[in-house]
């Protein structure tokens, strides 16, 4: 890896001062939810670690992950691509095509065997011998398996790669299959969401480049720094939930006042993601803030959990507001699920009793 530049060298060469570099490290540390003492560690890592080759593959997907990635404001996608990593293969962005593009894969294996990151957007279909996703005349699953066998670690971008997402929704006719169910011998970090938040994506990449390891993951393989909270826990509309102030239908008085969207189907109480803290598009807004409930797009199988407009009743969380992803795991406790529903119902009942529906004096 002798011909690789470090991230710091690349930034310096691109005319960025040491002062700006250190500021970038501080912002990155803050963006990752770490204290200022980590800025020095990040700076040290970026000064000494070589630019990491990244191979970005696309299976069955809609490319929303790539689109989200280029929306990143800190760091800018251009800075990630030109200075932080070496994005040697990404069929959505690369200049080459045909065999000149595919040659890069073999070159990467020869040159960086065991030392490149494999970023997977989308998933492989397994039916019809994998031929529902053909690349270079061959099934995508072959390419995925081959590159995975030579990579250092895998990032599963988005809900397609992490869980299966829309093409895997009932009845999943192509047998679209998430990465962890076909690759078993490499570390995988899942970055779910349809799509994931841009700064979550670049945050994960930054962490891996800076520290040379995966971020701390929960039991489902998601970075704790972004997926340990339910949206509901940190939702700015939570006080309205607690006060029993709900939007009953779109564009009603409650909607104009910014009340809780629980009753019009918000999946915030069961969804682990960073929307309510990091927010979207440079921290500008997020679905709840715009007036639509959370679809739950970062959760496994969210397409088959009933209507997006049905209030959450059949799913729940353990441990109340303080619960983390680890506490919940994959098993949902029915009793606690009823707890949340009962909590909401009680709020509604108390709300209706005093007959102040839509009355801001309730605040």
Partner 1 sequence: MTKQVTPNGFTLDDSGQRVVVDPICRIEGHLRIEVNLDENNVIRNAVSTGAMWRGLEVILKGRDPRDAWAFTERICGVCTGVHALTSVRAVEDALGIDIPANANSIRNLMLLAQHTQDHLVHFYHLHALDWVDVVSALKADPRATSELQRSISNWPKSSPGYFRDVQARLKRFVESGQLGPFSNAYWGSAAYRLPPEANLMAVTHYLEALDFQREIVKIHTIFGGRNPHPNWVVGGVPCSIDVNGDGSINMEWLNLVSSIIDQSITFIDQVYIPDLKAIASFYKDWTYGGGLSGKNLLSYGEYPDHPNDWSQANMLQPGGAILDGDLSKVHEVDVRDPEQVQEFVAHSWYSYPDEKQGLHPWDGITEPHFELGPNFKGTKTNIEQIDEGAKYSFIKAPRWRGHAMEVGPLARYVVAYARGHEEIRDQVDGLLHDLGLPLPAIFSTLGRTAARGLECSFTAHKMRYVFDQLMANLKAGDTATANMDKWEPDTWPAQTRGVGHVEAPRGALGHWIHIKDGKLENYQAVVPTTWNASPRDPAGNIGAYEAALLGTPMVDAEQPVEILRTIHSFDPCLACSTHVMAPDGEELASVKVR
- 328-335: long-range contacts at Cβ-Cβ below 8 A with a sequence spacing of 24 or more? 329/219, 329/220, 330/219, 330/220
Which residues, in sequence order, are CB contacts of 184 under 8 Å at separation 6+?
none
**In Å, what is the CA distance from 100 to each residue of 58, 97, 342?**
17, 6, 60
Distance CA 96, CA 91 (A): 8
Report the 10 Å Cβ neighbour count for 180.
17
Q: Residue from 287, 328, 340, 344 that binds partner 1 (CB under 8 A)?
A: 287
Residues paired with 89 in a beta bridge: 55
User: Considering beta carbons, is residue 131 or 323 the nearer one to partner 1?
Assistant: 131
* 101 touches partner 1 by CB under 8 A: yes
42 lies in the binding site for partner 1 (CB under 8 A):
no
> Tokens 């102030």 — which residue?
245
Interface of this chain with partner 1, residues 192 to 211, rule: CB under 8 A: 194-195
Of 199-207, 306-314, 318-326, 347-355: span binding partner 1 (CB under 8 A): 306-314
* 295 belongs to the binding site for partner 1 (CB under 8 A): yes
Rounded to 10 degrees, the C-alpha dihedral 10/14/16/18 comes to: 40
Return d(Cα 46, Cα 9) in angstroms, integer: 9
Contact criterion met (CB below 8 Å) for 283 and 256: no
Q: At closest approach, how far in Å is the CB of 199 from partner 1? A: 11
Please identify, using beta-carbon distances, which residue of 4 and 277 lies nearer to partner 1: 4
Q: Which is nearer to partner 1, 219 or 256 (CB)?
A: 256
The CB-of-80 to partner 1 minimum distance in angstroms stands at: 10
- The Cα–Cα gap between 238 and 254 comes to 14
In the complex, the smallest distance separating the C-beta of residue 328 from partner 1, rounded to whole angstroms, is: 24
Which positions from 247 to 266 touch partner 1 by CB under 8 A, shown as an x/- string?
A: --xxxx--xxxxx-------
Select from 47, 142, 327, 359 the one that contacts partner 1 (CB under 8 A). Answer: 142
**Does residue number 347 form part of the binding site for partner 1 (CB under 8 A)?**
no
Query: Applying CB under 8 A, does 77 fall inside the site for partner 1?
Result: yes
* Total site size for partner 1, rule CB under 8 A: 104
Nearer to partner 1, 49 or 257 (CB): 257
Tokens of 264: 């019009």
**Residue span binding partner 1 (CB under 8 A) among the ranges 23-31, 147-155, 205-213, 281-289:** 281-289
Q: Residue 37 Cβ, how far from partner 1 at the closest point, in Å? A: 31
Which residue from 17, 100, 350, 356 is in contact with partner 1, where contact means CB under 8 A? 100
Between residues 106 and 326, which has the closer beta carbon with respect to partner 1?
106
Closer residue to partner 1 (CB): 2 or 35:
2
Q: Does residue 352 bind partner 1 (CB under 8 A)?
A: no
Smallest distance from the beta carbon of 283 to partner 1, in angstroms?
Answer: 10
Place of tokens 């630019």: 51
Q: How far is the CB of 137 from partner 1 (least distance, A)?
A: 4
Among 39, 55, 64, 278, binds partner 1 (CB under 8 A): 64
Does 82 sit near partner 1 (CB under 8 A)? yes
- Is residue 238 within the footprint of partner 1 (CB under 8 A)? no
Q: Is 98 left (phi over 0), alpha (psi -120 to 50) or beta?
A: left
CB contact at 8 A, 237 and 244: no
Residue with tokens 């065997």: 113
Q: Is 227 in the site for partner 1 (CB under 8 A)?
A: no
Around Cβ 69, how many Cβ atoms within 10 Å? Answer: 25
The DSSP secondary structure of 284-306, one letter per residue, reads TB-HHHHT-----TTSTTGGGSS
């Amino acid at each position: 890896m002798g011909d690789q530049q470090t991230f710091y060298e690349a930034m310096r060469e691109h005319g960025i001062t040491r002062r700006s570099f250190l500021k970038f490290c501080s912002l990155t540390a803050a963006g990752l939810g770490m204290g200022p003492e980590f800025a020095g560690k990040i700076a040290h890592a970026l000064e000494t670690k070589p630019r990491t080759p990244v191979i970005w593959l696309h299976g069955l997907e809609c490319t929303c992950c790539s689109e989200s990635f280029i929306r990143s404001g800190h760091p800018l996608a251009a800075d990630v691509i030109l200075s932080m990593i070496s994005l040697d293969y990404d069929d959505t962005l690369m200049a080459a095509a045909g065999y000149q593009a595919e040659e890069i894969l073999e070159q990467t294996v020869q040159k960086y065997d065991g030392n490149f990151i494999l970023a997977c957007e989308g998933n492989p279909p397994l039916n019809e011998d994998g031929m529902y996703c053909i690349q270079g005349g061959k099934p995508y699953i072959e390419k995925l398996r081959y590159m995975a066998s030579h990579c250092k670690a895998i990032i599963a971008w988005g809900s397609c790669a992490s869980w299966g997402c829309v093409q895997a929704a009932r009845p999943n006719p192509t047998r679209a299959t998430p990465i962890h169910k076909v690759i078993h011998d490499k570390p995988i970090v899942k970055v779910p969401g349809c799509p994931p938040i841009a700064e979550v994506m670049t945050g994960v990449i930054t962490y891996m480049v800076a520290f040379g390891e995966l971020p701390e993951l929960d039991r489902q393989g998601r970075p704790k720094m972004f997926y340990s909270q339910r949206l509901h826990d940190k939702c700015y509309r939570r006080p309205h939930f607690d006060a029993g102030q709900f939007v009953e239908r779109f564009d009603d008085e409650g909607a104009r006042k910014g009340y809780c969207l629980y009753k019009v189907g918000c999946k915030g109480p069961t969804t682990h993601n960073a929307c309510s803290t990091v927010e979207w598009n440079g921290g500008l807004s997020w679905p709840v803030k715009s007036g639509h409930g959370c679809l739950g797009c970062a959760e496994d199988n969210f397409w088959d959990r009933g209507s997006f407009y049905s209030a959450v009743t059949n799913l729940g969380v353990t441990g109340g507001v303080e619960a983390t992803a680890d506490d919940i795991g994959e098993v949902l406790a029915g009793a606690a699920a009823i707890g949340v529903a009962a909590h909401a119902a009680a709020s509604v009942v108390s709300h209706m009793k005093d007959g102040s529906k839509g009355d801001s004096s309730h605040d």
